Chains A and B, each alone.
Chain A
């Protein structure tokens, strides 16, 4: 169980980082989505891995339980990362439509703009 979770966290993170480094809008969005999934899995494991246990304190009896806090954190993280991904997609779309180019790297564009202004002046 620990091996499976740890390996998947590692593999997904590696994949996410690789995709972000592609510097094209679509792979970067996919990479960030992968990272946001993997961080949720990671957060689950911070409360220790437990199977078939309720996430609440048992008032009666000495039943063991799983830590409820990481689950709440994951829920918050899911909502936020979902909203952020939507914003990111809209940004990428806006930038693509404006620039006709899906590169994240904008060094050249900046130079072009300066050059235009200089010749204009």
Chain B
């Protein structure tokens, strides 16, 4: 049974090269394989989640090498949840991409998509910090390709910026891992958890440096202030469905922060006591503020949605910074919610933007086809993102507010979340009314009619495109994402029970350590190694 743990990594890793090399000239075959593979991944991750529900932490030793020496994959409730989230999101995005024919606008979309899934699931499953780096690189290199899918000047420039940013981040990651290895002699997360507890406070300088360097690396991925600025430029210039898939990428950073700073550098590690929360909390507050103000100030739809993503990361990180099991539960609930609400908004934006002559610029225009449908979906997704009832954003924010009530930064956190939500609601209301409502009351309508007639007479392609209504298959993924938000809200009880189990398991460090490390021998061997020096 434990062999299934590696399946979410192996399956896309096998499919991607086959799609790239064998099926590159046959788009139907590539699509079918990609959908089948993602569907299989979804089924496997459901199976893994059911396994993980038992509450046992399962470790899979690659090549049967015992833990601190070999690489381990670890399946617990949290990693199973993240893999399930990834595969569900991937399925939704993939159907949208195929229905809207985005995959035909460039080459190798499906191969890159599968590599991306491999990197993400690997990063969630691994129990080794250096292996985490490797999977980060896998998902990044695939994301570089997806980011510039379709090409274009602005997109390539934004892509270059994104690559440079992440390469610098990867270098920093290596420096952090090197420092960590130099001070503890291990990179296995469970072994780190053991060793870091033994570091005396007087000798903790290097460990503290490593902890902060790692935090910076993960903060780049999670788009936290002051290193969030790559996200709006990247997401708003990436193809919209790819931006929807990237909704899980920021969560990889968030997951890494949750995993490393509760299991390895737990709150009970004397060497780094209180260090992480002290930096994470202000960063989260400012991120939330930046996101909210950005939503209010954005002049185009895609940057607006990107800033909404930044804001949601800030909200989530506030809960993470509290480092209590209850707060982590609330952060996980909000994580699931914000992934789907961001995906719903980006997918909807793709449907709307490709039908508007002005693209994603927020100016009043003639209504597009199916204005009512798009407006309703935007309304639903926006109240999800902004955190209004009845969708899951409201519950998520409510639980976060409750969870940080006992923490030292309660006042600041409450003010940030409530004010931020207000600004985001105003920003979305403004964008929605310009996009969908103002459109019919616009005086310039006749002029635009004429302009469009002229354009149509010349056989202008965008005008033709604008007239084409969305097929049910094109709208279905967006609806599915919104429906998942509703489901998350309706089934909040059982889901929260599962998440409570996940965070309880996360804070049960001894359980994690004993599941990964074989009884007793690991520290002894490491001990003799030190003596040999």
- A95-121 with Cβ < 8 A to chain B: 95, 98-99, 104-106, 109-110, 113-114, 117-118, 120-121
Determine the distance from Cα of A21 to Cα of B118 in the docked complex, in whole angstroms.
33
Among candidates A64, A65, A98, A114, residue contacting B151 with C-beta atoms closer than 8 Å:
A98
Of A83, A104, A117, which is within 8 A of B164 by CB? A104
Are B233 and A106 within 8 A (Cβ)?
Answer: yes
Q: Are the C-beta atoms of B363 and A121 separated by less than 8 Å?
A: yes
Within 8 A of B (CB), among A52-70: 62, 64-65, 69-70
Q: Are A117 and B361 in contact (CB under 8 A)?
A: yes
CB closest chain-A residue, reference B157: A106
Q: Contacts A109-B154, A117-B359, A121-B357 given; indicate if A91 touches B160 (C-beta within 8 A).
A: yes
Q: Are B161 and A106 in contact (CB under 8 A)?
A: yes
B18-26, B59-67, B165-173 - the one binding chain A: B165-173
A88 sits at the interface (CB 8 A): yes
* B182–A46 touching, CB < 8 Å: yes
CA distance A102 to B87 in the complex (A): 38
| Known contacts A76-B130, A104-B164, A106-B158; is-contact A94 B174 (Cβ 8 Å) | no
A92 touches B160 (CB 8 A): yes
| B181 touches A (CB below 8 Å) | yes
Residues of B contacting A87 with CB < 8 Å?
141, 144, 163
Q: How far is the CA of A65 from the CA of B153 in the complex (A)?
A: 53
Give the residue among B156, B171, B182 with the most A Cβ atoms within 10 A. Answer: B171
Contacts of A104 in B (CB 8 A): 157, 160-161, 164
B493 CB, min distance to chain A CBs, angstroms: 44
Determine the distance from Cα of A65 to Cα of B164 in the docked complex, in whole angstroms. 38
Which residues of B are found within 8 Å of A28, using beta-carbon distances? 164
Q: Is B532 an interface residue (CB 8 A)?
A: yes
On whether A118 and B361 interact (CB within 8 A), knowing A91-B163, A104-B161, A104-B164, the answer reads yes
Most chain B beta-carbon contacts within 10 A, residue among A47, A80, A91: A91
Instruction: Enumerate chain A residues within 8 angstroms of B137, measured Cβ to Cβ.
Output: 80, 84
Once the chains bind, are A91 and B148 in contact (CB under 8 Å)? Answer: yes
The listed residue with most A CB atoms (<10 A of its CB), out of B134, B152, B182, B187, is: B182
A35: chain B residues within 8 A (beta carbon)? 168, 171
Chain B nearest Cβ from A109, distance in angstroms = 6
Report the separation of the CA atoms of residues A98 and B79 in the bound assembly, to the nearest whole angstrom.
41
Give the Cβ gap from A117 to chain B, nearest Cβ, in Å. 5
User: What is the distance, in angstroms, from A83's C-beta to the closest C-beta of chain B?
Assistant: 7
**What's the Cα separation between A35 and B175 when bound, in Å?**
10
Query: Does A5 touch B at the CB level, under 8 Å?
Result: no
Q: Does A94 contact B148, Cβ atoms closer than 8 Å?
A: yes
Determine if B178 and A42 form an interchain contact, defined as CB atoms under 8 angstroms apart: yes
Knowing A28-B164, A91-B163, A106-B157 are in contact, say whether A73-B171 is a contact too (CB < 8 A). Answer: no
Which residues of A sit under 8 angstroms from B8, Cβ to Cβ? none
B150-209 contacts to A, CB under 8 A, are 151-154, 156-161, 163-164, 167-168, 170-171, 174-175, 177-179, 181-182, 187
- The residue of chain A having its C-beta at the shortest distance from the C-beta of B131 within the complex is A76
A64 in contact with B532 given A35-B171, A46-B178, A121-B358 (CB within 8 Å)? yes
Q: How far is the CB of B442 from chain A (nearest CB, A)?
A: 11
Given contacts A104-B161, A106-B233, are A39 and B174 in contact (CB under 8 A)? yes
User: Could you list some 22 contacts between A and B, CB below 8 A?
Assistant: A32-B171, A36-B171, A39-B174, A39-B178, A42-B178, A45-B182, A46-B178, A46-B182, A48-B533, A62-B532, A73-B181, A76-B134, A80-B134, A81-B170, A84-B163, A92-B160, A94-B160, A95-B157, A99-B156, A106-B161, A109-B153, A121-B358
Interchain residue pairs A-B with the least CB separation, the first 3: A121-B358, A46-B182, A95-B156
